[in-house]
Homo-oligomer: A and B are copies of this chain.
């Protein structure tokens, strides 16, 4: 066992000992509340609501990139659903940004063996100039290899990074792969390349390339950046492996004007607490999506889960003591713009955010929960775990969770948080692709997902525990 694991174990032991000495049987929830937990679990495991919400969002709205028509529709959709589901308060908070719009893309190997290549522009990329760009490929197996190339060594070339993301249940293959997508174009330009192409950050073998945000850097030339599908990256490598030059054509059109400011909004709804209305248990997801597929997994599923969780709690005979706030963040995909705006507006109010959790990845059952709370709150987490573990959710002995995605900004500002880890084995087959559609949402697993968030939110709202201490 390593030190990292021993340390929380030791803490748990110490805290539980202290706790049990004081009061062996002192559960936080009373018998009524325990019955409500049981009934919430049964309701969430039976209800089709979260799935129906994803069906509605994906069918009636579809994809919804920051600033697009879909984004506007999604905001209206979310406000209407919250009202229909009986939330006590529903409002929006404006989020400003720019709108990047995808145009045509065409990619092919010109020689030695002409082949069509499935490609997609990375989000934020500039267009190629004129009628497109033809250049030889300079191949790098990793982003580190590209970084190690001498400056100005890639003039007249297209840099190609072929690193393949690994499949793991917790999605940990994403981290080592995504750096090339976000930062590859800057480094490629620094080395003198005319463009960047990367192997898709994805675990599938579909001819469907994965998009996602990329960045430029002030003072470094902007070059177009695209990803190509996994089978197409294999094809390119197979041609490179024959030893000669491989000539590649890329045409990529995108529209974006940094001077034109577009509007989006965080959509927020509350079940107002009866005893501590100013103490907020926040559960969230992001409402925006990439402009491909229908954003069913990313993050329609999170939207459905959060709306359903709050609704189920709201159907109890008595409302919870603390307020449950559902935050549907704007513009997560293009750089957490909604979360940043939320922090601007609510930074003086962070102490009222007693705990929070987001859903922003996964396709399967939640198998693990990890807390990020004060040490005195660990027994409460243990009790919460007792209600959830029959759903197949193991309590991690770490106590180092930061909330996912948008809510990581709230975590960083001191909000205690929970992280629920879903099975993400298949998630990166579809992530940021045309294949992110409703059929990928498991009608069975989303019930378990919803049950977990419902139980967490109710427990946190009802317990009165200070999760910071």
Contacts and interface: CB of A to CB of B under 8 A. Distances in A.
Interface in A30-69: 55, 58-62
A118 B293 CA distance: 10
Contact of A208 (B60, B208, B239): B208
A207 interface: yes
Interface string A435-463: 10111100000000000000000000000
A371 to B, nearest CB: 35
A204 B205 CA distance: 12
In the complex, which of the residues A59, A61, A434 has the most CB atoms of chain B within 10 Å of its own CB atom?
A59
A205 B426 CA distance: 13
Given A55-B238, A62-B115, A238-B55, A207 B438 contact: no
Contact of A231 (B55, B116, B235, B435): B435
A287 to B, nearest CB: 17
Interface residues of A, number: 30
Given A206-B206, A206-B208, A208-B206, A231 B59 contact: no
Nearest to A69: B114
A94 interface: no
A437 B238 CA distance: 13
Interface in A197-229: 205-208
A234 interface: yes
Contact of A434 (B62, B113, B118, B234): B118
A235 B59 contact: yes
A439 to B, nearest CB: 5
A438 B118 contact: no
A264 interface: no
A234 B435 CA distance: 13
Given A55-B238, A238-B55, A207 B60 contact: no
Contacts of A58: 235
A198 to B, nearest CB: 17
A211 to B, nearest CB: 14
A113 B60 contact: yes
B239 A113 contact: no
B231 A439 contact: yes
A207 B55 contact: no
A370 interface: no
Contacts of A434: 118, 207
B207 A293 contact: yes
A208 to B, nearest CB: 7
A289 interface: no
A266 interface: no
Contact of A113 (B59, B115, B118): B59
A240 to B, nearest CB: 11
Interface string A103-124: 0000000001111101000000
A230 interface: yes
A66 to B, nearest CB: 19
Given A205-B439, A207-B437, A113 B230 contact: no
Which 4 A-B residue pairs are closest in the complex by CB-CB distance?
A231-B437, A207-B434, A205-B439, A59-B238
9 contacts: A59-B115, A62-B113, A62-B116, A205-B439, A207-B208, A230-B439, A231-B435, A231-B437, A231-B439
Interface of A: 55, 58-62, 112-116, 118, 205-208, 230-231, 234-235, 238-239, 293-294, 434-435, 437-440
Given A231-B437, A235-B437, 17 more contacts: A58-B235, A59-B113, A59-B238, A60-B112, A60-B113, A62-B115, A205-B435, A206-B206, A206-B208, A206-B435, A207-B208, A207-B293, A207-B435, A207-B437, A231-B438, A234-B439, A235-B294
